[in-house]
């Protein structure tokens, strides 16, 4: 019986099987190839349908492909005003062991820059920060945001904007040391258009016209300097004309305005830094760069998970691309590319980003979200977050990995910065010997000091200033 069983098996192995196998293989291969081609076509058409969704102008395609970046504009910027901060009071709820201690012995005694963005209010009546409410001694630099570029010239939306600019310049009568800059903003996508900086750098004539116009604006308004906020040259459709054009623009401005301050608001994500900047040009021509080290995470339909707006370090479980979505990685990268430390101002947000949770039991980082939470497009001022924390009995957690707080109540979830998280960031500035801090913006700090979280007016900006200037910390 045993032998009778074995024999046919040997026969199969030595004989028929050889001829059967290649046919089966070929058929399986053809089947798999057809399936693969089908899947690829399906994926392509589905993603194309999404990419081509031209009805929804709010979806930034560059974010789909390359990750987060700052995407504010002058409209949303005005909504960033009001206030927040009780989390410092709540931070003793959580205990932790410090894993990464900043080496305070590395702290360098020096005079730090504190450059504060001030968004021009859209009217002079309602609850927005007016120039006369700004403490002229709080910041070393005030950057008035924003003018735009039209027809290769500086463009102001209305006469209210120029009135406000003049009032801010007048604050120098109170503090003669104060420097006032005007920020010129433009958003582009890397394809050449006849507008904004993209057009300015397209020809020598345009560049000459723009630079001369900037000089006349500096003289007309008695400005100390100009801040260029181009988001972002050559991004995301790699366009070397824009990358080199941006370098040339800075060189021309420096030549035309040798005695004025020249600064640039620049990106934090590593891939945008590679696409957009000739770092030698920034290092050579600007007085400092304002790194927009925030908006690392905000609600996106294609990546609908909660995350910190402005994490100082990475979270334990982050890997790959996500591991570099934090301030430490951005700053170290800028330094490694040759940017002098003393020309780097670390961007500090006074606003937070809100999310609407899908399941309120899932409320840490990386929790699924269905959309923006409270605020305008998910932007929440410090006062708004403070009201949320104080009146809703929200739970507030200080995450030690990222050194940032978040707070939630039912399905509302907010990542924000408070005095504690900004103090960590300011210590980081000091321990690395950077040039100082940039604040975005005075409008979303609690400028009235009325929220339950605030011990003074501008509590967040004041805390940054205090830490930067406290050589005993």
Minimum CB distance to ligand NAG smaller for 281 or for 339: 339
Burial letters 284-316, b for 16+ CB under 10 A, else e: ebbbbbbbbbbbbbbbbeeeeebbbbbbbbbbe
Shortest separation between residue 101's beta carbon and ligand NAG, angstroms = 9
Give me the least distance between CB of 346 and ligand NAG, in Å please: 13
Cα 379 from Cα 355, distance rounded (Å): 10
User: Quick one: which H or E segment has residue 115?
Assistant: strand 113-119
Question: Which C-beta is closer to ligand NAG: that of 214 or that of 281?
Answer: 214
CB of 454 to ligand NAG, least distance (A): 12
Q: Is residue 119 within 8 Å of residue 376, measured between CB atoms? A: no
CB of 149 to ligand NAG, least distance (A): 12
Other C-beta atoms lying within 10 Å of the C-beta of residue 172: 16
Kindly state the smallest distance separating residue 155's Cβ from ligand NAG, in Å: 10
Q: 3-state DSSP call for residue 30?
A: helix
Nearer to ligand NAG, 262 or 401 (CB): 401
Backbone φ, ψ for residue 397 (5° rounding): -120, 135
Residue closer to ligand NAG by CB (options 210, 285) is: 210
What distance in Å separates the CA atoms of residue 417 and residue 419, rounded to the nearest whole number? 7
Closest approach, Cβ 26 to ligand NAG, in A, equals: 43
- Tell me, letter by letter, the H, E, C secondary structure of 122-171: CCCCCCCCCHHHCCCCCCCEEEEEEEEEECCEEECCCHHHHHHHHHHHHH
> Distance between CA 252 and CA 214 in Å, rounded?
11
Interaction site with ligand NAG (CB under 6 A): 89-90, 92-93, 100, 124, 135, 137-138, 151, 189, 191, 193, 209, 313-314, 316-317, 328-329, 332, 457, 462, 465
Supply the minimum distance, in Å, between the C-beta of residue 253 and ligand NAG: 18
Helix (H) / strand (E) element for 388: namely helix 382-391
Distance separating alpha carbons of residues 405 and 414, to the nearest angstrom:
9
Residue with tokens 């920020």: 183
Please, which residues have CB within 8 angstroms of residue 461's CB and are 6 or more apart in sequence?
Answer: 114, 116, 138, 139, 350, 439, 442, 445
**Please, are residues 129 and 382 in contact by the beta-carbon 8 Å criterion?**
no
- Whichever of 11 and 316 has its CB closer to ligand NAG, that residue is 316
Q: State the nearest-atom distance from the C-beta of 339 to ligand NAG, in Å.
A: 14
Q: Between residues 14 and 125, which has the closer beta carbon with respect to ligand NAG?
A: 125
Return the beta strands (E) in 318-425 as ranges.
Answer: 344-349, 352-357, 369-371, 379-380, 395-399, 404-409, 412-415
Q: What is the distance of C-alpha 362 from the center of its chain? A: 25
Give least dist CB 448 to ligand NAG, A: 12
With CA atoms as reference, report the closest residue to 452 among 416, 421, 403, 418.
418
| Closest to ligand NAG by CB, 262 or 386 | 386
Cβ proximity to ligand NAG, 24 vs 361, nearer residue: 361
Q: Name the residue nearer to ligand NAG (CB basis): 256 or 371.
A: 256
User: With respect to ligand NAG, which residue has the nearer C-beta, 151 or 455?
Assistant: 151
Please name which of 312, 313, 343, 338 lies closest in space to residue 112, comparing C-alpha atoms.
Answer: 343
Shortest reach from residue 34's CB to ligand NAG, in Å: 33
Measured from the Cβ of residue 366, the count of other Cβ atoms closer than 10 Å reads 13
- Pick between residue 352 and residue 459 the one whose CB is nearest to ligand NAG: 459
The minimum distance between CB 60 and ligand NAG, in angstroms, equals: 10
């Amino acid at each position: 019986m045993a032998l009778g069983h074995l024999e046919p098996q040997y026969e199969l192995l030595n004989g028929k099987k050889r001829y059967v196998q290649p046919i089966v293989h070929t058929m399986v291969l053809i089947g798999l190839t057809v399936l693969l081609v089908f899947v690829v076509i399906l994926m392509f058409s589905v993603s194309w349908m999404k990419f081509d969704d031209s009805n929804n102008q709010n979806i930034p395609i560059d974010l789909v492909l390359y990750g987060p970046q700052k995407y504010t504009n002058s409209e949303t910027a005005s909504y960033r005003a009001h206030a927040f901060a009780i989390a410092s009071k709540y931070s003793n709820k959580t205990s932790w062991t410090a894993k990464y201690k900043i080496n305070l012995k590395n702290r360098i005694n020096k005079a730090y820059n504190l450059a504060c963005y001030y968004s021009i209010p859209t009217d002079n009546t309602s609850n927005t920060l007016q120039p006369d409410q700004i403490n002229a001694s709080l910041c070393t630099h005030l950057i008035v945001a924003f003018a735009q570029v039209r027809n290769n010239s500086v463009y102001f939306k209305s006469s209210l904007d120029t009135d406000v600019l003049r009032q801010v310049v007048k604050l120098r009568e109170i503090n003669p040391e104060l420097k006032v800059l005007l920020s010129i903003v433009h958003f582009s996508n890397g394809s050449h258009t006849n507008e904004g900086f993209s057009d300015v750098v397209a020809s020598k004539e345009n560049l000459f016209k723009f630079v001369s116009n900037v000089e006349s604006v500096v003289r007309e308004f008695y400005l100390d300097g100009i801040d260029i906020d181009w988001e972002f040259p050559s991004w995301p459709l790699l366009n070397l004309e824009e990358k080199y054009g941006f370098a040339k623009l800075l060189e021309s401005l420096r030549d035309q305005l040798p005695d004025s301050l020249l600064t640039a608001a620049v990106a934090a994500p590593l891939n945008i830094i590679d696409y957009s900047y000739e770092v030698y040009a920034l290092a050579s021509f600007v007085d400092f760069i304002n790194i927009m080290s925030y908006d690392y995470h905000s609600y996106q339909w294609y990546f609908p998970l909660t995350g910190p707006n402005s994490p100082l370090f990475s979270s334990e479980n982050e890997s790959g691309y996500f591991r570099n979505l934090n301030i430490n990685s951005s700053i170290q990268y800028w330094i490694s590319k040759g940017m002098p430390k003393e020309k780097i101002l670390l961007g500090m947000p006074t606003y937070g980003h809100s999310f609407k949770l899908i399941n309120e039991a899932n409320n840490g980082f990386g929790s699924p979200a269905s959309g923006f939470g409270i605020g305008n497009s998910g932007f929440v001022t410090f006062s708004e977050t403070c009201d949320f924390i104080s009146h809703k009995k929200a739970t507030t957690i200080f995450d030690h990995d990222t050194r940032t707080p978040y707070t939630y109540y039912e399905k509302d979830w907010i990542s924000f910065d408070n005095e504690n998280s900004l103090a960590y960031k300011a210590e980081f500035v000091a321990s690395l010997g950077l040039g100082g801090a940039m604040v975005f913006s005075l409008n979303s700090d609690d400028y009235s000091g009325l929220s339950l979280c605030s011990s003074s007016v501008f509590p967040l900006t004041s805390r940054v200033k205090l830490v930067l200037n406290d050589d005993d910390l």
